[in-house]
Amino acid sequence: MNCIVTAGPTAEPLDSVRRLTNHSTGTLGTELANHLASHGHPVLLLRSLTATAAPPIPGVATERFGTSRELLSLFQRHATREPVALFHAAAVGDFEVGSVFRREADGSLTRLQSGKYSTRDGDLLAELRPTPKILAQLRDLYPKAWITGWKFEVDGTRDEVMARAHAQVEDCRSDAVVANGPAHGPGFTWWTPAQEIPVGDTSALYRLLEERLPG
């Protein structure tokens, strides 16, 4: 089955030399792409420019993205009404940087524009704007796709994580979700409205995702 996998962190520019990003390495998404390709599935890997994981194996077609908007643009470019499996494992940041302001001595804010902000500018405040919700747009772009999202959570209990994962599937009209992160605890949970399967490690997760491909 044709598969599209995303991997790695988005990076949103603060100025020409600094960016807002996260700790994702892109390892899980890249290894999943390798696993699917090694089992005969044509794979397109959408991989972050800042991913530090080992590159994919030969035969995995790869396109690169930096920001969340660039990743969305790649999804839009490859949109199809044909059946395809989407595994959206990339760590898409929740915010991009908007305007930057300097706080003046009287407490007022002055908007700044610079290729590189300096400590000489004094105390700065950066506006954070929500990034596009990519997973929520995939059903319209790929109406016949089997869509699996990820839910990585740091805070809360495992039950709260799974409740958020269930809501993600419903809100985004996806088919399945993989939950993990410190709040979830060790391993992963693969969930659909019909089934919940705990998975101990990434190798078992890759096998499960490949086995559950429709058709």
Q: Are residues 118 and 42 in the same domain?
A: no
Number of domains observed in the structure of the chain: 2
Per-residue pLDDT of the chain (215 residues; tens, 9 = 90+): 999 999 999 999 999 999 999 999 999 999 999 999 999 999 999 999 999 999 999 999 999 999 999 999 999 999 999 999 999 999 999 999 999 999 888 989 999 999 999 988 888 999 999 999 999 999 999 999 999 999 999 999 999 999 999 999 999 999 999 999 999 999 999 999 999 999 999 999 999 999 999 97
55 CB-near residues (< 8 Å, 6+ apart): 30, 62
Q: Are residues 142 and 73 in the same domain?
A: yes
Domain final residue pick, 128, 147, 179: 128
Q: Are residues 35 and 116 in the same domain?
A: no
Q: Are residues 74 and 103 in the same domain?
A: no
Q: Are residues 72 and 159 in the same domain?
A: yes
- pLDDT at residue number 122: 84
Q: Are residues 144 and 64 in the same domain?
A: yes
**Long-range contacts (CB closer than 8 Å, 24 or more residues apart) made by 162-169:** 162/189, 162/191, 162/196, 165/189, 165/191, 166/191, 166/193, 168/135, 169/193
Q: Are residues 90 and 189 in the same domain?
A: yes
Q: Are residues 111 and 17 in the same domain?
A: no
Q: Are residues 10 and 102 in the same domain?
A: no
Q: Are residues 82 and 165 in the same domain?
A: yes
Q: Are residues 110 and 159 in the same domain?
A: no
Rg (CA), the chain: 19
**Long-range contacts (CB closer than 8 Å, 24 or more residues apart) made by 14-21:** 14/97, 14/100, 14/117, 14/126, 15/100, 15/114, 15/115, 15/116, 15/117, 16/115, 16/116, 17/115, 17/116, 18/116, 18/117, 20/93, 20/95, 20/96, 20/97, 20/128, 21/50, 21/93
- pLDDT at residue number 215: 79
- pLDDT at residue number 105: 87
Domain extent, residue 192, equals: 3-94+132-211
Nearest alpha-carbon partner for 86 in 39, 50, 136, 48 = 136
- pLDDT at residue number 121: 85
Q: Which CATH number characterizes residue 22's domain?
A: 3.40.50.10300
Largest CA distance in the chain: 66
d(CA 192, CA 172) in angstroms, rounded, equals 13
Q: Are residues 24 and 60 in the same domain?
A: yes
